[in-house]
Amino acid sequence: MNGILIENIKQLVQVRTGVSGEAFSCSTGNEMNRLPCLENAWLFIRDGMIDGFGPMENCPYKEDIPLGTKIIDATGRCVFPSFCDCHTHIVFAGSREKEFSDKNRGLSYRQIAARGGGILNSAALLHKTTEEELFEQSLVRARELIRFGTGAVEIKSGYGLTVEDEIKMLRVIRRIGEETPLTVKATFLGAHAVPESYKGRRSEYVDLIIDQMIPRVAEENLAQYADVFCETGFFTVEDTERIFTAALKHGLRPRVHANQMDFSGGVQAGVNYGAITVDHLEHTGPEEWDALAGSDTLPVLLPGSTFFLEMDYAPAREMIRRGLPVALATNYNPGSCPAGNMQFMMTLACLKMKLTPEEAVNASTLNGAHGMDLSSRLGSITVGKTANVFITVPIPSYEYFAYAFTSPLVETTILNGKITTL
Ligand code: NIG
């Protein structure tokens, strides 16, 4: 038996019993403001799973501790379920800090992209980078996420833009899942930008995605999802629908980058094709919210890129008021958000989108897990779920997490029931 007993926990955050079923779906609307916590608690982890928890006064392990149990005293500390970051692009080559300067001189994201910068810049660099080197660079970011308290991550391709380079990226994504304790879900994003070699021939590039990339990705079982950047200057609603039709035929569930720069129609396209998530959503109004209401599609908000691109934030309050769920994710990528810290995303969500700290935690844990089809296994402190948790440094309460936004607050991370050493 491999056991860990965490005792004297100041606050055990996001405690959901399996009985009610709420531990296995996502938190929606007004419910998002409810964050069940236990004060002065214990948590027992057995063979990689959450085995039990409760208040210290009823701890069954006070004297009778199973042989081989490691005991951690969490006095003054909070324990959270690990973050579930359901939108990232952490597999990329190099960086794009030069564009950061261009941006500060007044060029917009779209203008930088139109000059061959942006995603095409990353694609050129990735093409020159060996698979091994790409893995090593991406591994550094994966470890960074773990240190920030993340335990599950969705990673997209989309800086390859040729059959072989997209496959190279997806193999690296698979390796991140194999060689780190992170739970990884992979998304094929061939439709991230039209590559230089197809300039002016966007629909031929969409043919390549449909005829060659998607079948190959499916054949090699390299992704669970297919994504499209549905935005003016990138891919149209019609392109998106063609790609989703092909993806669904090959068993890849859609997700979509939608309504980031404009009212693109991406939200409706995502909902119509049963997308698991629609992401960004800075430009949404009643039509988009109505489309989402009653659908199985989860809105994912990415305040880190809104911050970095200095745009207006997604209207999260209105979505929640209308009974929708929302998830938060980092969108860690070299262009619009070179940052993978969910703590900072929660701060932005609270400050700029007016989420409560409780809503921010729900959006970053249970709802993030739901955005990767993982809420049956992750996202809450629930008996029978995988033991992915982190222990903070001493802090006064869980609210402190989004408040002290540059303090490193994660002290110990436990993934799959094992203390991670990085
Ligand atoms: O989600 N919008 C498209 N993709 C990323 C940016 C990628 C990049 O600029 O490299 C995003 O913001």
Q: What is the spatial distance between Cα 143 and Cα 146, in angstroms, rounded to a whole number?
A: 5
If one counts the domains in the chain, the total is 2
Ligand 1, atom 7, residue with closest C-alpha: 335
Q: Which numbered atom of ligand 1 lies nearest the CA of 119?
A: 10
Predicted confidence at residue 62, as pLDDT, reads 81
Ligand 1, atom 1, residue with closest C-alpha: 331
Answer yes or no: do 207 and 63 share one domain.
no
Answer yes or no: do 154 and 69 share one domain.
no
Which sign, positive or negative, has the C-alpha torsion 371, 372, 377, 379? negative
3 state SS of 411: strand
Predicted confidence at residue 7, as pLDDT, reads 97
Answer yes or no: do 74 and 105 share one domain.
no
Q: Which numbered atom of ligand 1 lies nearest the CA of 279?
A: 1
| CATH number, position 95 | 3.20.20.140
Question: Domain end: 330, 348, 370, which one?
Answer: 370
Answer yes or no: do 103 and 245 share one domain.
yes
Bridging pattern class, strands 150-156 and 183-191: parallel
37 Cα–ligand 1 center, Å? 35
Answer yes or no: do 90 and 64 share one domain.
no
Ligand 1, atom 9, residue with closest C-alpha: 335
Q: Which numbered atom of ligand 1 lies nearest the CA of 231?
A: 2
Q: Decide if 328 contacts 303 (C-beta within 8 A).
A: yes
Answer yes or no: do 397 and 347 share one domain.
no
Question: Domain end: 332, 353, 370, which one?
Answer: 370
* pLDDT tens-digit readout, 174-196: 999 999 999 999 999 999 999 99
CA nearest neighbour of 300 among 336, 242, 345: 345
Predicted confidence at residue 193, as pLDDT, reads 96
Answer yes or no: do 138 and 208 share one domain.
yes
Spatial neighbors of 414 by CB under 8 A, at least 6 apart, are 4, 45, 387, 388, 389, 390, 391, 420
Answer yes or no: do 93 and 77 share one domain.
no
241 Cα–ligand 1 center, Å? 20
Pocket-testing residue among 305, 306, 345, ligand 1, by greatest number of atoms within 8 A of Cβ? 305
pTM above 0.85, yes or no: yes
CA torsion angle for 3, 73, 82, 223 (degrees, to 10)?
Answer: -30
Taking each helix axis as running N to C, give the angle between helix 163-179 and helix 131-147, from 0 to 180 degrees, rounded to the nearest 10: 40
Question: Domain end: 334, 351, 370, which one?
Answer: 370
356 Cα–ligand 1 center, Å? 27
Answer yes or no: do 69 and 213 share one domain.
no
Q: Which numbered atom of ligand 1 lies nearest the CA of 113?
A: 9
| CATH number, position 44 | 2.30.40.10
Q: Which numbered atom of ligand 1 lies nearest the CA of 309?
A: 12
Predicted confidence at residue 392, as pLDDT, reads 98
Answer yes or no: do 58 and 90 share one domain.
no
Taking each helix axis as running N to C, give the angle between helix 163-179 and helix 118-128, from 0 to 180 degrees, rounded to the nearest 10: 80
Residue 271: what residue type?
Answer: V
Bridging pattern class, strands 225-230 and 253-258: parallel
Tell me the residue range of the domain where 32 lies: 3-81+379-419
Residues with CB under 6 Å of ligand 1 are 89, 118-119, 122, 229, 257, 260, 305, 331, 333-336
Answer yes or no: do 211 and 341 share one domain.
yes
Chain centre distance of CA 240: 21
335 Cα–ligand 1 center, Å? 6
Listed as ranges, residues in the chain with pLDDT below 70 are: none
Answer yes or no: do 74 and 91 share one domain.
no
